[in-house]
Amino acid sequence: MARLPWAIHGFSTRSIGASHLDKSPRCRGGILNLGFTEWDTREAVQANRKAFLQALGADGMKLVTLKQIHSDAIHLTNEAPANSLSVPACSGDALITRTRGLLLAVQTADCVPILLADQKLHAVAAIHAGWRGTLARIVAKSVGRMNMEFGTRPQDLVAAIGPAIGRCSYEVGPEVAQAFAGQFPNARDWFDFPHGLRDGQTDDQFIAGEGPNPLKWLSMMPPGHDAPPPSVNLDLIAANRWQLLDAGVPAKNIVASNLCTACNTGTLFSHRRENGRTGRMLATIGLRP
């Protein structure tokens, strides 16, 4: 996306900012928390957002954020709230626009942030894809919504997938694996089995919910009587990349960060690795005024 002079875009990190998550005397400096979390003050987050916009060169632009709900809700945006630094525009998980001066943004701390730009028609999108949004095909639906609203052709899109929790760290239960298997023909490619299987199942039987007692643990009485079920590692980045390809976006137009949020908490926020007490990053894109 660096070759798009008409667009401003970027992914934030956790440093350096006005927020202080660690209250101990050893805490040096502040962190760039860009989300309104319980532990932070609104004043600090607003100061961080102003600093981030300045670093992007987007001082004169209006920030548009969402109350994110892990959905497939996509909103066409033509204006920002009056107090755009602190007020979300609406509830949902993706924003699209062709209006100049708006900076679309989604918050993440493990989920996948995806930015889209139509090179021909100068339209953009910011997408938040956790496992629920990925299962609901929010990125593919965003491509379709851009086509419906603006006439965007998938082959004209460029896509940037930002830092997210990686396959190495994102452990999920069998119900998630089976939900993906029911939606995607190649879901098996997105899972690893680091802890082994039980009851003589194969990997494919596990994902499909087949084989000997695949979900025996769900009906155990009393709960916890048996060992916990095996878990799998899910590659959310690969799943969203496949959706972009399947929607018609050329492979050469898709770039993805190789930074795992859970493995890089010195630089990035990770809700899972930090047990929920962490900040939020912003993935942003907009058309220059």
Is residue 1 domain-resident?
no
- Statement to judge: residues 191 and 177 lie in one domain: yes
**Which residue's entry shows tokens 């896509």?**
159
Quote the CA–CA distance of 70 and 73 in Å, as a whole number. 9
- Statement to judge: residues 220 and 195 lie in one domain: yes
Distance, first Cα to last Cα, the chain: 18
- Statement to judge: residues 28 and 130 lie in one domain: yes
124 phi and psi, to 5 degrees?
-135, 165
- Statement to judge: residues 151 and 18 lie in one domain: yes
Is residue 2 domain-resident?
no
- Statement to judge: residues 88 and 140 lie in one domain: yes
Over residues 31-60, the mean pLDDT reads 95
Is residue 283 domain-resident?
yes
* Model pLDDT for residues 94-104, shown as the tens digit of each residue: 999 999 999 99
- Statement to judge: residues 54 and 89 lie in one domain: yes
- How much is the mean pLDDT over the chain? 89
Domain total in the chain = 2
Q: With 50 as the cut, is the pLDDT of residue 210 above it?
A: yes
Q: The dihedral of CA 197, 203, 204, 208: what is its sign?
A: positive
Do the beta carbons of residue 52 and residue 76 sit within 8 Å?
no
Do the beta carbons of residue 239 and residue 190 sit within 8 Å?
yes
Spatial CB neighbours of 174, under 8 Å, sequence gap ≥ 6:
206, 209, 214, 215, 229, 230, 231, 232
Q: With 80 as the cut, is the pLDDT of residue 261 above it?
A: yes
Global pTM reads 0.89
Is residue 42 domain-resident?
yes
**Which residue's entry shows tokens 């204006």?**
79
Is residue 61 domain-resident?
yes
50 phi and psi, to 5 degrees?
-60, -45
- Statement to judge: residues 38 and 178 lie in one domain: no
- Statement to judge: residues 186 and 161 lie in one domain: no
Can you give the CATH number for the domain in which 155 is found?
3.60.140.10
Is residue 114 domain-resident?
yes
Over residues 110-118, the mean pLDDT reads 98
- Statement to judge: residues 181 and 126 lie in one domain: no
**Which residue's entry shows tokens 């119900």?**
175
DSSP type of residue 100: B
Do the beta carbons of residue 131 and residue 236 sit within 8 Å?
yes
* Model pLDDT for residues 222-249, shown as the tens digit of each residue: 555 555 556 789 999 999 999 999 999 9
Q: With 60 as the cut, is the pLDDT of residue 36 above it?
A: yes
What's the pLDDT at 24?
43
- Statement to judge: residues 77 and 132 lie in one domain: yes
- Statement to judge: residues 126 and 21 lie in one domain: yes
What's the pLDDT at 60?
87
Do the beta carbons of residue 77 and residue 97 sit within 8 Å?
yes
Cα-only R_g, the chain: 20
- Statement to judge: residues 110 and 93 lie in one domain: yes
Segments forming the whole domain that contains residue 32: 7-169+240-287
Beta-bridge mates of residue 63? 103
Most confident option among 138-147, 201-210, 211-220: 138-147
The lowest-confidence range among 25-34, 49-58, 124-133, 243-252 is 25-34
Instruction: With CA atoms as reference, report the closest residue to 9 among 127, 164, 150, 149.
Output: 127
Quote the CA–CA distance of 201 and 221 in Å, as a whole number. 22
